[in-house]
Structure formats: structure tokens, C-alpha cells
């Protein structure tokens, strides 16, 4: 059985992936804090910012594959702590990619659609990035560090949603939690994105590794919509009251970090080399099915005491 090292294993993608593939792979999930209480995979506590941490981690776990999810992923946190964001989003990926190349380990580095400014939209992998936030700038620096250190690595620009350890990590959870409680919310009509259900993302990344792909890919839904429309689609999926979602501009959201407006990414490269990722309706179907099966409660029960 192949060993896979997943960093950020308490985060939305890392934890969902680790739980989903446990049994198919010997999974080592790296966490810094908030270690999930689970026996489904090996939980490894490590501070990736520590001296020689990536090298020691690889030496201890001896993985065949690495999926690097760990990051300062909250845009507001990155804006307030740019030095921390630079270290975790840019420096650590380069170090991990260097070690992966040295040991001949296949690697996926998780990046973001926020490397673009969103002025024109419809971005291909060949389009020049122009990030507007500290998060986007440091994630772009991470892409470049990985590409320079390990050309065989996959760099995946993503946008995803799912159920999380805290129950508050994804936009889908925000809409579901509030609408289910009857709370009115705002939905941005001027921010467009291509959200992919987290397990569809996980499955696609593993297929990319199996296919021997390398380089930069947009790994998002082939469809795009506004965040307001995503909330309405989710409400309809769950039979909730979509009228509770008030259309609003992102400029009225009281956010510090600048958000890009049109982050619809082109996915022809992924479709050509692997096949299209699932669309939004298919993802919301799976998100709803997990809710009906009690998965949100199961995953949140893994929170540390």
C-alpha cells in the first residue's frame, strides 16, 4: 500500500481527503494544532515552520506521494500577518518541493484562484497572474518556489467547499448554517468563482498523480457563478428559503483583504489531459448526501477537546 503525506490535515481539503482515502493508502496527516481525534489515519503533529521541518517530516514518514494543503488560507489573517503568510504559503512549499525532488516523491501543491486580479476573468494557466491580496501574493510566490525546485510537481489552482472540522470553513457551510437557522445573509453578486466539491477535488488530484501529470493546472468546476447564485443553488438543493439571501456587493462586506471579482478559470488543459472535473450540480448533490448521512456531525465530533 502506498504511503501518502497530507499536510494541513485538520483543514477542509486535508481532512476530507485523508478520511476519504484511508484504506486505499497509508495516510499520514500533518497538523500543527487542532489535531482531529481519529484512528482513520496517522496523525502527525509538526510545525512546518521549524528548522528543517520538511526534511525531517519526509525522513520520518517516507511517503510515496505528498499533497501539500497547509497554508494561511484565511485572506483576512494573511493581510494582517503577511510575514507568517510568506513563510507558510511561499517558503515552506519551496522547501517541501526541494525535498520531494531529492527523494523522487510525486507531489501536489495546492494553490488558489486568488493569484488573479479578476478584472477580465476566464483565465487560462498561461495568463499572467496579478494578485490583489497578501494571500494571493504569497500563494503565487509559493507556486513559483515549487516550480523552480521541482518541475515534476503538480501545482493545482483550486476553489472548493465541503464540511469541515469546525463547521465554519467553507462558503457552503456559511450558507447552510445560516439558512437552516432562518438567519438572513448577504450573497455577493459581483464575485464569480468555480467552486468544486472537496471530494471531487480530492479524487481529481489523485487521478492526476496516477496519470503522471506535472506542472500548473486549474482544478476547479468547469462552471462558474456568483457567490449569491451559489447560495441560491445550495438553498434549493436543501429545500431552504433562498429569499433569506440578500444580493450585495463585496464592497459592502466590511472585509479588509481585497477580493478579486471574476475568478472564473479555464479548465481545458485539465479536460484534455485527464477529463473534466464534475460540475456544480453534481457537487451539491454529494454535499447534500453527506449532510443526510450525518457526515457534518461525524467530522465535527473529531474536534480536539
For the annotated catalytic residues, the residue numbers are 135
- Which residue from 211, 198, 230 is spatially nearest to 271, judged by alpha carbons? 211
Any bridge partners for residue 197, and if so which? 161
The pLDDT score that the predictor gives to residue 246 is 96
Q: What is the pLDDT of residue 261?
A: 87
- What kind and span of H or E run contains 196? strand 196-197
Predicted confidence at residue 278, as pLDDT, reads: 95
Rounded Cα distance between 69 and 282, Å, is: 24
The burial class, CB within 10 Å (0-12 / 13-18 / 19+), for 51 is exposed
Copy the grid coordinates of residue 108.
501536489
Residues 6+ apart with CB under 8 A from 28: 3, 4, 5, 6, 41, 42, 44, 61, 63
Q: Would you state the pLDDT for residue 275?
A: 94
Query: CA 207, CA 110: separation in Å to the nearest integer?
Result: 15
Of 44, 56, 49, give the one whose Cα is nearest residue 5.
Answer: 44
Q: Are 214 and 152 in contact (CB under 8 A)?
A: yes
Tell me the per-residue pLDDT of 112-168, one tens digit each, with 9 for 90 and over.
999 999 999 999 999 999 999 999 999 999 999 999 999 999 999 999 999 999 988
What pLDDT, on the 0 to 100 scale, is given for residue 253?
62
Whole-prediction pTM value?
0.95
Task: Say what the pLDDT of residue 251 is.
Answer: 83
For residue 202, the model assigns a pLDDT of: 97
122 burial class (0-12, 13-18, 19+ CB within 10 angstroms)?
exposed
Residues 116, 132: Cα–Cα separation, whole Å: 7
Q: Which residues of the chain have pLDDT under 70?
A: 253-254
* C-alpha torsion sign, points 31, 37, 41, 43: positive
Show the domains of the chain with their CATH numbers.
Answer: 3-300 (3.40.50.720)
End-to-end CA distance of the chain: 32
Amino acid at each position: 500500500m502506498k504511503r501518502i503525506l497530507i499536510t494541513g490535515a485538520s483543514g477542509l481539503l486535508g481532512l476530507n481527503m485523508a478520511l476519504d482515502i484511508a484504506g486505499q493508502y497509508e495516510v499520514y496527516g500533518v497538523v500543527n494544532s487542532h489535531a482531529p481525534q481519529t484512528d482513520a489515519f496517522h496523525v502527525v503533529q509538526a510545525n512546518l515552520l521549524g528548522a528543517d521541518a520538511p526534511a525531517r517530516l519526509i525522513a520520518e514518514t517516507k511517503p510515496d506521494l505528498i499533497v501539500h494543503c497547509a497554508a494561511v488560507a484565511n485572506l483576512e489573517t494573511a493581510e494582517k500577518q503577511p510575514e507568517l503568510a510568506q513563510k507558510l504559503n511561499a517558503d515552506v512549499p519551496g522547501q517541501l518541493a526541494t525535498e520531494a525532488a531529492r527523494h523522487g516523491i510525486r507531489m501536489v501543491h495546492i494553490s488558489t484562484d486568488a493569484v488573479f486580479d479578476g478584472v477580465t476573468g476566464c483565465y487560462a494557466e498561461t495568463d499572467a497572474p496579478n494578485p490583489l491580496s497578501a494571500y494571493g501574493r504569497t500563494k503565487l510566490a509559493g507556486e513559483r518556489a515549487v516550480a523552480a525546485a521541482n518541475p515534476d510537481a503538480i501545482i493545482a489552482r483550486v476553489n472548493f467547499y465541503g464540511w469541515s472540522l469546525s463547521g465554519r470553513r467553507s462558503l457552503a457551510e456559511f450558507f447552510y448554517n445560516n439558512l437552516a437557522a432562518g438567519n438572513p445573509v448577504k450573497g455577493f453578486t459581483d464575485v464569480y468563482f468555480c467552486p468544486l466539491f472537496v471530494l471531487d477535488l480530492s479524487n481529481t488530484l489523485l487521478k492526476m498523480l496516477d496519470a503522471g501529470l506535472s506542472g500548473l493546472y486549474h482544478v476547479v468546476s468547469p462552471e462558474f457563478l456568483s457567490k449569491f447564485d451559489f447560495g441560491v443553488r445550495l438553498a434549493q438543493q436543501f429545500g431552504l428559503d433562498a429569499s433569506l439571501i440578500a444580493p450585495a456587493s463585496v464592497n459592502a462586506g466590511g472585509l479588509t483583504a481585497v477580493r478579486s471579482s471574476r475568478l472564473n478559470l479555464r479548465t481545458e488543459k485539465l479536460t484534455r489531459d485527464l477529463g473534466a472535473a464534475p460540475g456544480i450540480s453534481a457537487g451539491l448533490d454529494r454535499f447534500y448526501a453527506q449532510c443526510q448521512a450525518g457526515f457534518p456531525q461525524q467530522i465535527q465530533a473529531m474536534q480536539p477537546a
